[in-house]
Each structure stands twice: as C-alpha cells, then as structure tokens.
C-alpha cells in the first residue's frame, strides 16, 4: 500500500511538472517563418524523468529517516565518531602527501588554462575562509563581502597608476584598507542581526560598486583600469606563462597561510567569543564578552583577506572594472561557505573547488550546466544542510579532584 501511495505521489508530481514546463519545453515559436513547432517528445521525457526523480527523492528521505532512528535507538554519538576519525594522524599522512605531490606537479602536467582555473579556485578558497570568519564563526550574515574585494583590487590599481607602487607593497596596503572598510561597515550594524544585517551589508556592497562606476575622475568609471602590472619576484620579470605559474604557487602559499591563521583564530579566545556570539548574542554579552569589539574584529579580519585577494585579482587579470564585483560574487562566496559547512575550514575548501571548478568543467554541457549546478546546491541543502564537512564542536572533559573534609575526591 505504501508503494502504491509513493507511485501515486510521483505520478502526480510528474503531471504537475509537465503542466508547468509545457510552454517552455513543448512550444517553440519560429519568428522568422512565423510557425509554431510542437515538441511533444519533450513532455514525455520531462514526465518520465520527474517521475523517477521524485520516486528516488522519497526513497532517500525514507532512508535518512530510518538511519536517524537507528542512530537514536543505538545511542551512537556521531560527533565523537567523527572526532575519532579526524584525530587519527595515520589517515592524514597519505592524503597530505598525495595532495602535496599533485599540487607541486599540477602546472607541469596540465596546460596553462587549467592552471589559471585552479588559481581562481584557490582565490575563492581564501575568500571563503575570510567570509567564514564573519558568517561561519561570528554568525553575521554579510552579503556585501564583495565590497572589500573591490576595495583591495582598486587599491592596487590606483596606487600603481598614480604612484607606481609594486604588487608587494600594495598587498599589505590592500589588506589594511580592506580591514578599515570592514570596521567602517561594522560600526553602523552593531545592533542589527539576521535579515536586517544582510540587507544593510548588501546595500553597502552596492553603494561601493556604484560609486566606483560613476566616479570617473577617481576610478575611471565603467571603463575600468587596464595594464595593471603582474608581480615579479626579486626583480625577475616573468613571461605570461611564467606569471600564471608563479601566481598559482603564490596562491598555494597564501592559502596555506590563511588556513593556519584562521585555524589559530578559531581556537583562540577571540574565536571562542565569535562562536559564543553566533550561538546566543544575549548570553554572550551577559557573560562579559565585549560585543562591539567582537563584531568589529570579525568584520575587520574577514575584510582583510578580501582586500588581499582583491590585490591578487587585479594583478592576475591586469584589468578591473566595477562589473567584476557585482552582488553575485558575494552570493557565490556565501554559497561556498554554506555548501562547505559554516565554521569548517576543510568544508570551505571543498565548497570552493566544487562551486568554481564544476561550472568550468561543465562547459561542454553549456545548455544544462547551470541546471546541474543548481541541482547540486538543492540536493546538498535538502540532504545535508550542515554542509559537506560540518564543523566539529570540540568537547573537553575535565577530571579534577577536590578536597572535602580532609578527604580527596575525584
């Protein structure tokens, strides 16, 4: 009886989907010859596909529910089991060695186009880790993160155009200016949370972009800034191919440095304050944590990495204009954090590689690659809302002793 109900529900879902997609999938209007083409075979394919997908969808939901009941009945501790796996060093060494070997030989195995794509993916890894501080650890929904990315890129472009500053001097300056803008954004939104915070940060990002697009005397407007020099190394000027390979290895170093810093921040006192702020802001303030300082530190440190990557982006592309820093960049970076797992460093890395590399390698299926891209996001959010690699909350057990009445008790 249950199977008949499932078949009935899947059949109704396929009929409903066929009705919704009828104008798009069946009717084609030829404006040149003024004819209407009826593609009834597309309706058949849509109905069959939706029927089987709906049936498989319900089956997976039942499996998830039964697995959850088994875990609850058996009293299994998923977090502690995951901690045991993650804390096993023998599992890390072969994987770490394989990744190191692959990363070191990647530019010499694949062509320059693949190296360029991988460099872009590493840039988004750093951007995702920076936003992970604000959203994943501090719980502050920031939809204007691209503004700090823009500030870093224009810092290098304008400083080089007007004063001839090199990439290596502009890199820390871009990070500093990004942190400064992070603090400027943080002050007005100290009392805001949730949707209101997201709307204000979204507006902040759009304001910065529109200013750069219309202030022709300062930022050259929509025309942008061209001929931005690529970085050298101790006076050595690289060719185009050598510069791409050098940027790849530089991004690997910056990614490792970012992972180290973010991991140390997460386990530090300020990191624990961010997590407390994310869990309960009122309780966090009641426990004596300075809410203003904690929020401003999160915005400033997150914006620092965006400013640095902005400088790298300007040097990598040698041309920037405001069209490269739309709100969709912020949404993409936020999707990387959410898909990978908020607060999880490894999850953000996986999320960046999936969301940046998947559309590139699906260019052969250009008509369907965005559909596939969206389907992956929907499936992940339904079946694994905590992300690919969720953040593991550490548990500390204290076994102390106390003296009561002259006797020591443990």
Per residue in 213-252, pLDDT tens? 998 888 888 888 998 988 888 777 778 888 889 999 999 9
Task: Please give the residue that has the higher pLDDT: either 72 or 222.
Answer: 222
pLDDT tens column, 333-357: 988 888 888 888 888 998 899 888 8
Distance of alpha carbon 81 from its chain centroid, rounded?
26
Is the pLDDT at 67 greater than 60? The verdict is no
Q: pLDDT tier at 81 (50, 70, 90 boundaries)? A: very low
- Is it the case that residue 172 has pLDDT exceeding 50? yes
For residue 20, name the pLDDT band (cuts at 50, 70, 90): confident
Q: Is the pLDDT of residue 175 over 50?
A: yes
Q: Give me the pLDDT at residue 308, please.
A: 94
With vertex at residue 159, the alpha carbon angle to CA 154 and CA 163, rounded to the nearest 5 degrees, is 160
Question: What is d(CA 143, CA 326) in angstroms, rounded to the nearest whole number?
Answer: 11
Residue 74 and residue 70: Cα distance in Å, rounded? 6
- Would you state the pLDDT for residue 280? 82
C-alpha to C-alpha distances, 52 to 26, 116, 326, nearest whole angstrom: 20, 39, 38
pLDDT of residue 368: 65
Q: Say which range, 32-46, 275-289, 291-305, 322-336, has the weakest mean pLDDT.
A: 32-46
User: What average pLDDT does range 146-155 have in this prediction?
Assistant: 93
Band (304; pLDDT cuts 50, 70, 90): very high
Q: Is 403 helix (H, G, I), strand (E, B) or coil?
A: strand
Lowest mean pLDDT among 57-61, 181-185, 395-399: 395-399
Residue 158's contacts (CB-CB under 8 Å, 6 or more residues apart) are 218, 219, 225
Mean pLDDT, residues 303-311: 93
CA 6: distance to chain centroid?
36
376-to-3, 122, 324, 370, 373 alpha-carbon distances in Å = 27, 21, 25, 10, 5
Q: Which of 36-40, 198-202, 361-365, 401-405 has the lowest mean pLDDT?
A: 401-405
Residue 288's pLDDT is what? Answer: 84
Q: What is the largest CA-CA distance in the chain?
A: 101
pLDDT for 79 beyond 50? no
Task: Check if the beta carbon of residue 176 is closer than 8 Å to that of residue 236.
Answer: no
Residue 410 structure tokens:
């443990």
- Cα–Cα distance measured from residue 259 to residue 155, given in angstroms and rounded to the nearest whole number: 24
Determine the Cα–Cα distance for residues 170 and 211; give it in Å rounded to an integer: 22
Domains of the chain: 2-76 (no CATH), 110-383 (1.10.3470)
> Is the CB of residue 122 less than 8 Å from the CB of residue 308?
no
In the DSSP assignment, the letter for residue 239 is -
pLDDT band at 125 (very low <50, low <70, confident <90, very high): very high
Please check the confidence at residue 39 and state whether its pLDDT lies above 90.
no
Of 94-98, 311-315, 351-355, where does mean pLDDT reach its minimum?
A: 94-98
Report yes or no on whether pTM surpasses 0.85: no
CA 390 to CA 377: how far, in whole Å?
16
87 Cβ neighbours under 8 A, 6+ residues apart:
none
| pLDDT reading at 66 higher than 80 | no
């Amino acid at each position: 009886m249950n199977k008949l109900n499932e078949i009935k529900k899947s059949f109704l879902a396929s009929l409903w989907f066929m009705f919704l997609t009828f104008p798009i999938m069946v009717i084609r209007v030829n404006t040149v010859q003024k004819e209407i083409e009826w593609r009834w075979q597309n309706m058949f394919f849509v109905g069959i596909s939706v029927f089987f997908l709906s049936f498989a969808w319900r089956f997976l939901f039942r499996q998830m529910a039964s697995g959850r009941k088994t875990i609850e009945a058996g009293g299994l501790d998923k977090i502690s089991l995951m901690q045991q796996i993650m804390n096993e060093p023998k599992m890390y060494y072969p994987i770490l060695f394989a990744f190191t070997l692959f990363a070191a030989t990647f530019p010499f195995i694949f062509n320059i186009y693949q190296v360029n794509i991988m460099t872009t993916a590493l840039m988004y890894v750093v951007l995702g880790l920076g936003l992970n501080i604000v959203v994943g650890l501090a719980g502050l929904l920031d939809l204007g993160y691209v503004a700090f990315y823009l500030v870093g890129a224009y810092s290098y472009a304008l400083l080089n155009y007007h004063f001839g500053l090199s990439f290596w001097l502009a890199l820390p300056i871009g990070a500093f200016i990004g942190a400064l803008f992070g603090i400027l954004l943080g002050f007005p939104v100290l009392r805001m949370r949730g949707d209101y915070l997201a709307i204000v940060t979204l507006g902040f990002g759009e304001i910065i972009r529109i200013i750069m697009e219309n202030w022709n005397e300062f930022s050259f407007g929509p025309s942008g800034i061209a001929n931005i020099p690529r970085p050298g190394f101790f006076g050595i000027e690289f060719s185009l191919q050598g510069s791409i390979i050098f940027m790849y290895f530089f991004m690997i170093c910056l990614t490792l440095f970012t992972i180290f810093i973010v991991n140390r921040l997460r386990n530090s006192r300020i990191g624990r304050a961010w997590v407390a702020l994310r869990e309960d802001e009122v309780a966090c303030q009641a426990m004596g944590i300075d809410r203003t300082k904690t929020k401003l530190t999160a915005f400033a440190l997150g914006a620092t990495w965006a400013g640095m990557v902005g400088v790298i982006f300007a040097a990598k592309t040698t041309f920037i204009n405001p069209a490269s820093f739309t709100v969709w960049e912020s949404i993409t970076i936020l999707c990387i954090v959410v898909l990978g797992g908020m607060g999880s460093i490894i999850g953000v890395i996986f999320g960046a590689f999936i969301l940046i590399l998947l559309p590139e390698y699906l260019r052969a299926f250009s008509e369907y690659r965005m559909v596939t891209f969206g389907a992956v996001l929907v499936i992940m959010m339904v079946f694994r809302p905590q992300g690919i690699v969720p953040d593991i909350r550490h548990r500390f057990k204290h076994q102390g002793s106390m003296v009561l009445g002259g006797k020591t008790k443990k």
